[in-house]
Amino acid sequence: MGDFGVIADVSTVMVETLTQALRGLSQVDPPVAELNDLSETVQTPPPKLTVFLYDIAEHPTSRNRPPVRSQPPDPPTVRKAPMALLLRYLVTPWGGDQETQHRMLGRALQTFYDDAILDGVQLSGSLAASTDALHLGLTSLTLDQKSWVWYAIQKPYRLSLNYEVRVVNLDSAVETAVRPVRSRIFGGASAS
């Protein structure tokens, strides 16, 4: 179950997964991944892959799911279904030479292609004990769309990857007690 910290937890999982994958690229000063909003200059060395959450949207096909009922032996309650989110990330290499940057991008692509579904022990924070799974997909954006992302953050365009993580469930904080039905009265027209 994802509490209000689920977005931060997803970002952390992505950074940890990428950092682990980048370790094999160099024995001396291996590249690392870091969460970064790109508002400041990225500090290198070591070479870095920045992970920037640039968009959050509601997953359109997951709307209007039924309420979630508590399981016995808990007292009976009902809460709204979790809000299903799509998180869009920009993954960008910094530092080192062009070959190093291309290797970092290649390793990120390979990592999220080989393991496009993160679940179980790969998850941390509020996702750690859940049955949720994060589906990562490379988003195909046109050059114009990519340029608009860079324009919006007021930085010159750089070669980068756009990933979409779905479905991230954000639980509702509103829980309502449900009283069990103890008796029913049937009323209707009597037959003559």
Cα gap 73→93, rounded to integer Å: 50
Whole-model pTM: value is 0.78
Residue 80 inside a domain? The answer is: yes
Lowest mean pLDDT among 90-94, 148-152, 171-175: 171-175
Residue 60 inside a domain? The answer is: yes
CATH number of residue 162's parent domain: 3.30.2000
Which band of pLDDT confidence, cut at 50, 70 and 90, is reported for residue 188?
low
Q: How many residues does the chain have?
A: 192
64 Ramachandran zone, left/alpha/beta (phi>0; psi -120 to 50): left
Residues 164/87, Cβ–Cβ less than 8 Å: yes
Residue 185 inside a domain? The answer is: no
Q: Does residue 191 register a pLDDT over 60?
A: no
Residue 182 inside a domain? The answer is: no
The pLDDT value given to residue 172:
65
The pLDDT value given to residue 90:
93
Q: Which helix (H) or strand (E) holds 18?
A: helix 6-22
Residue 179 inside a domain? The answer is: no
Report the chain's mean pLDDT, rounded to a whole number. Answer: 82
Is beta strand 48-58 parallel, antiparallel or unpaired with respect to 32-35? parallel
Domains in the chain: how many in total? 1
Q: Which helix (H) or strand (E) holds 118?
A: strand 117-119
Residue 106 inside a domain? The answer is: yes
Q: Does residue 192 register a pLDDT over 70?
A: no
Residue 129 inside a domain? The answer is: yes
The pLDDT value given to residue 93:
94
Residue 192 inside a domain? The answer is: no
Is beta strand 83-94 parallel, antiparallel or unpaired with respect to 117-119? unpaired
The pLDDT value given to residue 176:
64
Residue 169 sits in which domain range?
6-174
Extract the tokens encoding 113. 């292609």
Cα gap 155→123, rounded to integer Å: 32
